[in-house]
Amino acid sequence: GENVEQHPSTLSVQEGDSAVIKCTYSDSASNYFPWYKQELGKRPQLIIDIRSNVGEKKDQRIAVTLNKTAKHFSLHITETQPEDSAVYFCAATYRGSTLGRLYFGRGTQLTVWP
């Protein structure tokens, strides 16, 4: 099956700085890459996703980039705010995946200091 690696496991930034989280995947057939945010004590929720026919996608302060050749994708958060503090999970799925199963990275704990 697919293998997703996520780095770093923890990330601390000053409010207003940018944060970047990187993920790599193993299966070149993967074609959908969502990112989930989990605030403390809450459920993971989808914040942005990208499909393999697109290289970059933006939504206000967050963006995701995809490099299919290198098999990696990244989450970029600009002008970070304390409410961005959370655990972020990347994931991948591929055409052969059993009925839409996602393969998750191990998560990145992002802390934004005021």
Partner 1 sequence: DVKVTQSSRYLVKRTGEKVFLECVQDMDHENMFWYRQDPGLGLRLIYFSYDVKMKEKGDIPEGYSVSREKKERFSLILESASTNQTSMYLCASSLRVGSGNTIYFGEGSWLTVV
Does 78 engage in binding with partner 1 (CB under 8 A)? Answer: no
What tokens appear for 17 in the block? 């700085």
Instruction: Report the nearest approach of partner 1 to the CB of residue 97 (Å).
Output: 6
CA distance 64 to 49: 7
CA distance 110 to 106: 13
Provide the 8-state DSSP code for 41. T
**Nearest alpha-carbon partner for 30 in 73, 92, 74, 72:** 92
Q: Which residues pair with 7 in a beta bridge?
A: 22
* 9 near partner 1, rule: CB under 8 A: yes
Compute the least distance from the CB of residue 65 to partner 1, in Å.
18
Does position 89 interact with partner 1 (CB under 8 A)? The reply is yes
Q: Which is nearer to partner 1, 65 or 109 (CB)?
A: 109
Residue 101 to residue 53: CA distance in whole angstroms: 20
- Residue 42 in the binding site for partner 1 (CB under 8 A): yes
Question: Does the footprint of partner 1 cover residue 32 (CB under 8 A)?
Answer: yes
Does residue 43 belong to the site contacting partner 1 (CB under 8 A)?
A: yes
Interface with partner 1 (CB under 8 A) = 6, 9, 31-32, 34, 36, 42-46, 49, 51, 89, 93-95, 97-102, 104-107
